[in-house]
Structure 1
Amino acid sequence: MKFKISHLVKTYPITFFAVIALFTASAVTAAKGVLLPLAIGEAALSVVLAVSAILKMHNEFRIIKNAVISLNASLSDKDMLKYFPLPAVICKTNGKILWFNDLFKAAVIRNRQPREDNISVFIGGKALSELAAKKTFSATYDGRDYTVISETLDSSGESCTVFYFVDDTDLKSIVREYRMSKPAVALVAVDSIDEFYRVYKESEYAEITSAVERLTENWFSEFSGVFRKLGTGRFIAIVPESELEKMISKKFNVLENVRSYTYNGATVGITLSAGVGRGDNLSDAEGAARQALDMALGRGGDQVAVKDNDKYTFFGGVSKGVEKRTKVRTRVVASAMSELIRNASNVVIMGHKFSDLDSVGAAYGMYKAALALGKDAKIVVNRKTTLAQPLIDYIGKSDDDCFVSPLTGERLTVKKTLLIVVDTHKADFVDSKNVYEKAQNVIVIDHHRKTVDYINNAVIFYHEPHASSTCEMVTELLQYISKHPVADSVCATALMSGIMLDTKEFVLRAGVRTFEAAAYLRSRGADTVTVKSFFANSMESRKLRGMVVMNAEMYRACAISVTDIESDDIRVVCAQAADELLSVSGVDASFVIFKTDDIINISARSMGKVNVQLIMEALGGGGHQTMAAVQLKDITESQIKDMLKTAIDNYYSNL
């Protein structure tokens, strides 16, 4: 490779002019005849700089030469890299461009000098280390889209990378246009519209529904698509993906428009739910929209669920659901359950991990129902992790053999066994995953807001997110599941304990049906004094709870406490501490972070102003509006605290 002065000037311009300056200074100094040693030194330094630049340039030329030779080894003589039919660039491992062919200069940089001599300019600012494992990736430069193919070459101990640029702008434009034209279907429903018919006069009801329909229609008319009314409070919209993205960018603010609607100067409290489905065709999109609407309603309504394959995205869900006063569905479900119980060989009942009073109380209620229908039944409880040991001991005094271990429950589960899962609808959160996986017939009874990973093979999925507790739901079922009274005083007390736990002794989420259920249980002999004893704590637990409360700090009207205390009752202590923090002035929600084994837990509580379920769901957990939790592995307390603050920020930004 011949050396040219022009190469030196182009590659190292600063060094070149520095050498010229030093030579000039040396000549001037020597001409004056003074300071001869200085002149010699200047001349020597200029020679060193010149030689250094030449050697470095020669080394880089050698790298290019070796790379080209290496490439040419796999190409025929006429397919030299210079004439390769694709734009090509050779760069060093640090990204510095060594050489590019004429086609790259003409097609990519369009005969202009590159703004920088680093390949990152042409590959979206990514460093070569980020692309080490990728042979093909997409990049955009100067308004054009490219698929870039990389190849790493090693020759004579030198390493470099060759990039080939395939301009597929037109193809990608067609792909984007196709994606943006794919259909999306939205099914919209006014939440609990029949309940408003009971409150308002017929003329007022008609005026309210017309106004809500007008608000909804006006919002959807802002977008290009089809919007039609299917019935009272039910609509369908068909839009292309491009319009759906506009709706998403507005965060479906039609929810807020309807939620804030006032009639005669008062907020009505009416809300919308919608399910949006994507698909390759209208049939697939409509099916996905139905599933998404079920998910939105199962999470309490007042929200939009967007389904894309198996992934859900949620918008809204910040308000309380409207309690349904009709018990028609309860009677229908009770009849279907009694039939399944009668046809089963035996019944196994199971709650969630770390079972509480609501879980065990509801399980015992269904246990008594199975016995009343003449079937053998058992309750699966992990006594090592349960948080309801006082209730289990209380029930054990009259029914000492109703509780079995997960191992025994697995042995009892046969082909015709009916498994009843209470107080959870998540397959990964049941007390025994093996029992669930072995059962072929499953019933789910739960009140928590629906999550994506719900049990999807249930014969009956009885889900009421508006109910205060699962014990409330079971209490209503027991009144219809058998002709004869099912609940005795022990069962009534167990069910009452679950209701009192989840309502914070009838303070939170207690509706009309909650008090009706409590009144029925009281008539069946529920002992509230005994229930109160289930909530008693030791002096040590009270001290630990005080420590957790003292560690709390405020963040955006939320109290966050991180504790490292060790106790066998750590879960109960932290849950009660979260409840106690709500009594502090200015606290709308509380979060207690604690560790159990290798798991970091968050216990979240609110008085209803903040939907802690949405915040916990953002971290992978769940629950309902006033009570939620999450469990995470391979993370530190400080990391999860930062994640929690981010989730809180996102929650408030979406209001």
Structure 2
Amino acid sequence: MYDKRFNKSGKVLANLLVLGIIVLTSLISFILFVESLKSNNTIIQETHNFFIGKSWVVISIIACSFILMLTMLYVFNIQIEQSVRSRIQKMYDMLSTETIKGLSRMPVGVVNYSEDLRIVWANDFFSEGEKKDFIGNQIDSVFNFLEQTQTKDESIRIAEGVMLGVRIVDVYQDVETNMLYFFDKSAEVLAKRKALEERMVIGYIYVDAPEEIQVIEDSGNLGVSSEIHRKIIVWAQKYNAYVRKYASYRWMIITNKAGLDAMCADKMCIREEVKAQGEFFKMSLTISGGFSFYEEDMGDVVRRSIDAIELGQSRGGDQIVVEVVDGELEIYGGDTHQKRRTSRVMVRSTSINLHRILGEYDNVYISGHQFADFDALGAMFGLYQIVKAQKKRIYFIVDEKKFSKDTFELFTKTWKDHSELDEMLSKIIAPNRFRIEDTPEKSVVIIVDTAAKALLETKRLLDFKDCIVIDHHRKGKDAVIGNVLEYIDPFSSSASEMVTELIQYQPIPIDITDEVATCLLAGIILDTNKFTRNVSSRTFEAASFLRKKGAIQEHVLQIMSTNIEDYIIQANYLELTKNTPESGKMLMIQGVKTRLEIAKCADFLLSFPEVKYTIVMAYISETTIAISARSKGQVNVQKIMEVFGGGGHFNNAAAQIESEKIEEVAASIQRYIEDEKREKDE
């Protein structure tokens, strides 16, 4: 500011000096002009005599004095300006030194860099070793997190929560001044982390099959339940958790988030300890658990903990489900193949409840999973008979264009009178045409043979206010909620078996046709691989009931049989299989295949005694890959398929992936299995 003011005054003096010279020059020029005219004009002569004679000397003295004065003023101004400049520079140097000292001592990190993005200076926020490491280097090579910065405005860029040595900092980059500012957030982050670790956690642990313990204790061995209680107490105390047994074979656990994290780090080892205790008593003994942490509502954390344990039991038990954050779940266990525990009393109660619920609606929509197979269609047709008996309007939401050729072959061979088939097919609504806005009042949807949102025929089914879910697969993390009725039995062989039992226990007679009975039997035969997998006595009883109702087993077996050509093709696939950990086989089939062909190949590979599980995948369309997984009971293939968006049973599962590169999918599955094996060995 001072420099500009003195420059302006200097310019004014210089202009005055030039003006004086111009005035003097003009005066001399005028005198010379008059001198040249004095001989010709008397008046001019007299004027000349006046100016020259009387005033020339005076005027000359005045002009010289004026010029001298201006010159002295100009020189004096220059001297003053130089003196002021000198004083200002000294003041600036003093101010800069103090400012730099202040910047160096600030609790905020400051870094200055040049136009070519090289670091030239840093304050004492950084140690001497840190300064030595990065001064002179490019900023992007020293602070690589600057690539993650987000633009706040045209001149400021921000990177939040980045690690700088042992500190957590927020970084502000001022692009205009070439400055970086580092704000230490370590204390704030640690405080938040401590608050999170101290959040209350509530968990529950249930024994999966308490009736088996009761039988053993009734026979005189009273030490089972006490040993389980002692194991749980010792385990909980290891993590400073409080334990309360509030009912027979049920415990409540109270701890904090840090304790829960420690439990998770140990893979919820209480499962294995209880299981080992069961082996000591020569019985199958498993537990299930659910944990959630407090946020705002204490009642809500209790509800979420109970939901978690119910999810674990609906998946077959021997699992502890932990809510991590924002609804994300971690599941520990599930490596034990459980016995069926769903009683006939529960089936009868569910069937009566279904009848009552359907009576409250006028319109019923029925849907299964994408690429509906025999089991999904059989269960849908069985539910059609139940709903029809109550004289409700019925609609199917299914993509008939994705029916396999095996499905159409079953329809053709089964239905003698195509009028009933045509009637059912006429009630089909294509998934891409379905709109919740078009549904009338008092409508409910029944989702059968799946509870996974990713496998629904259309996501618009989630828009229904009222929903019924009937499924035999282990419930996944991202499952559809049956808010009206939820009947999930992972111990059933198939959805067709579940629907067949519901038909038998309906409070009103259900007149199912021979064709529907055949479709239900086809679903059971498909999912049990001709009664060789995941069957119980109730599976055979359901099949017997369907045979009495006119099911034609020969049609189904003929469709599912393997001809000589297919057998030769499957045999040739043996050379293409890859070994996987735990005595498994994996196969990628090139070309587009049907789901039934993929399932048959997985079953074929499992028929060899040295193979414990199989995973077979192939394209079912140009960009859709279907995966079938089978197991003899030593490996839980449902856990593997769940990682890739699928699900199923302990020894029978499947998945569907949208991808154009089947090799990458196979490599991902292989890596997951190897990682799980490595973690298990450790």
Distance 1:92 1:201, change over 3 A: same
Residue of structure 2 in register with 1:565 after alignment = 591
- 1:459 corresponds, among 461, 477, 484, to 484
| 1:192 aligns with one of 209, 229, 254 | 209
One-letter amino acid matched to 1:628: A
Q: 2:284 aligns with which of 269, 287, 292?
A: 269
Q: What is the rounded CA distance, in whole Å, between the counterparts of 1:467 and 1:94 in structure 2?
A: 70
Q: 2:308 aligns with which of 292, 298, 301?
A: 292
Does the 8 A contact of 1:606 with 1:627 survive in 2?
Answer: yes
1:476 paired with 2:498, answer no
Q: Give the letter aligned to residue 406 of structure 1.
A: I
> Is the counterpart of residue 604 in structure 1 residue 629 in structure 2?
yes
Q: Summarize deviations over 1:15-60 as a string: whole Å, max 9, x none.
A: xxxxxxxxxxxxxxxxxxxxxxxxxxxxxxxxxxxxxxxxxxxxxx
Which moved further from structure 2: 525-534 or 535-544?
A: 535-544
The one of 602, 618, 621 equivalent to 1:578 is 602
User: Which residue number corresponds to residue 406 of structure 1?
Assistant: 429
Kindly state the Cα deviation for residue 224 of structure 1 after the two structures are TM-superposed.
0.7
Within 5 A, what are the aligned runs for 1:452-601? Answer: 452-536=477-561, 544-556=569-581, 557-566=583-592, 569-595=593-619, 596-601=621-626
Number of the residue aligned with 2:293: 278
What SS does structure 1 have at the residue aligned with 2:618? strand
Deviation at 1:275, TM superposition (A): 0.5
Task: Please tell me whether Structure 1 or Structure 2 has the larger radius of gyration of its CA atoms.
Answer: 2
Equivalent residues of 1:549, 1:577 under 8 A apart: no
State percent identity of aligned pairs: 25
Whether the aligned pair in 2 keeps the contact of 1:183 and 1:239 (CA below 8 Å) is: yes
Q: CA deviation at 1:276?
A: 0.5
Alpha-carbon deviation of 1:273?
0.5
* Cα distance in structure 2, aligned partners of 1:208 and 1:119: 71
Among 238, 249, 255, which residue is 1:233 paired with? 249
Instruction: Note the aligned Cα RMSD (angstroms).
Output: 3.2
Residue matched to 1:98: 120
Give the corresponding residue for 2:318.
Answer: 302
Cα distance in 2 for partners of 1:81, 1:335 equals 83
Distance 1:181 1:355 in 2: 48
1:393 aligns with 2:423: no
Is 1:251 aligned to residue 267 of structure 2? Answer: yes
Amino acid at match of 1:534: I
1-structure distance, mates of 2:161, 2:147: 13
CA distance in 2, matches of 1:535, 1:120: 70
- SS of the residue 1:289 aligns to: helix
Question: Does structure 1 retain, via aligned residues, the 8 Å contact 2:641–2:654?
Answer: yes
Per-residue Cα deviation, 1:190-212 (whole angstroms, up to 9, x for no partner): 11323554x54614574323322
Q: How far apart are 1:509 and its partner, in Å? A: 1.1
Deviations 1:473-532, CA, capped at 9 Å, x for gaps: 111111111332544433332222211211112221112322232233333333322221
Counterpart position of 1:41: none
Query: What 5-or-longer segments of structure 2 have no aligned partner?
Result: 1-91, 151-156
SS at match of 2:490: coil
Shift of 1:654: 5.1
For residue 558 of structure 2, what is the amino acid of its counterpart? S
Which of 102, 105, 111 is matched with 1:89 structurally?
111
TM-score normalised to the size of structure 2? 0.76
Instruction: Return the letter of the residue paired with 2:273.
Output: N
Is 1:448 the counterpart of 2:446? The answer is no
- CA positional deviation for 1:77: 8.3
Tell me if the contact between 1:187 and 1:235 (Cα under 8 Å) persists in the aligned partners: yes
The alignment partner of 1:305 has SS state of: strand
Aligned positions of 1:5-20 closer than 5 A: none
1:99/1:492 Cα in 2 relative to 1: closer, same or farther (>3 Å)?
Answer: same
Q: Deviations over 1:515-555 (max 9, x none)?
A: 23223333333332222123145666556545544421112
- CA deviation string 1:145-201 (max 9, x = no partner): 24231315368xxxxx6332223333333222211111111111111323554x546
The residue aligned with 1:181 is: 198
Cα deviation for residue 326 of structure 1 reads 1.9
What secondary structure does 2:331 align onto? Answer: strand
CA deviation string 1:446-488 (max 9, x = no partner): 0111112211253101111121111111111111113325444
Q: Which residue of 2 aligns with 1:220?
A: 236
Q: Deviations over 1:224-245 (max 9, x none)?
A: 1211001111111010111111
Question: Aligned in 2, Cα 1:152/1:303: closer, same or farther, shift over 3 Å?
Answer: same
Q: Is the 8 Å Cα contact of residues 544 and 573 (structure 1) preserved in structure 2?
A: no
By how many angstroms is 1:586 displaced?
Answer: 2.5
Cα distance per residue 1:91-150 (max 9 Å; x no partner):
57998642112x32xxx31x556462279999998625643447122344564x242313
* Contact 1:355/1:431 (<8 A) preserved: no
Structure 2 CA distance for aligned equivalents of residues 96 and 584 of structure 1: 66
Per-residue deviation, 1:571: 2.6
SS in 1 for 2:544: helix
**1:578-598 superposed Cα distances (whole Å, 9 cap, x missing partner):** 121112342222112323222
CA distance in 1, matches of 2:626, 2:243: 45
Q: 1:544·1:565 contact (CA, 8 Å) conserved in 2?
A: no
Structure 1 partner of 2:159:
136
User: Equivalences for 1:15-54 in 2 at 5 Å?
Assistant: none
Q: Give me the whole-angstrom Cα distance separating, in 2, the residues matched to 1:326 and 1:546.
A: 42
Equivalent-residue separation in structure 1 for 2:477 and 2:159 (angstroms): 34
1:558 CA displacement: 1.8
Question: Any idea what SS the aligned residue of 1:559 has?
Answer: strand
Query: Which amino acid in 1 is paired with 2:344?
Result: K
Q: What is the SS of the residue equivalent to 1:138?
A: strand
What's 1:625 paired with? 650
Most deviating of 371-380 and 406-415: 406-415
- Tell me what 1:149 maps to: 171
DSSP 3-state at the match of 1:456: coil
Q: 1:171/1:128 Cα in 2 relative to 1: closer, same or farther (>3 Å)?
A: closer
The total of aligned residue pairs comes to: 565
Give the whole-Å Cα distance in 1 for the aligned partners of 2:110 and 2:499: 71
Match of 2:677 in 1: 652
Which protein is richer in helix relative to its size?
2
For the residue of structure 1 that corresponds to 2:450, the secondary structure is coil
Q: Distance in 1 between matches of 2:645 and 2:449?
A: 18
Checking the alignment, whether the CA contact within 8 Å between 1:549 and 1:580 is kept in structure 2 is no
C-alpha spacing 1:96/1:259, structure 2 compared with 1 (3 Å): farther
Residue pair 1:615, 1:651 contacting (<8 A) in 2 also? no
2:435 paired with 1:420: no
Q: Which amino acid aligns with 1:302?
A: D
SS in 2 for 1:333: helix
- Which residue in the other structure is 2:355 paired with? 338
- SS of corresponding position for 2:175: strand
> Residues 342 and 373 of structure 1 are in contact (CA less than 8 Å); yes or no, is this contact kept in structure 2?
yes
How far did 1:376 drift?
Answer: 4.0
C-alpha separation between the residues in 2 aligned to 1:121 and 1:181? 42
What is the CA-CA distance between 1:378 and the residue it aligns to? 4.2
Q: Deviations over 1:581-616 (max 9, x none)?
A: 112342222112323222333222222211111112
Structure 2 vs 1, CA of residues 489 and 93 (structure 1 numbering), >3 Å: closer, same or farther?
Answer: farther
Taking structure 1 as the reference length, what is the TM-score of the superposition?
0.78
Once residues 92 and 542 of structure 1 are traced to their aligned partners in structure 2, the CA distance between those partners, rounded to angstroms, is 73
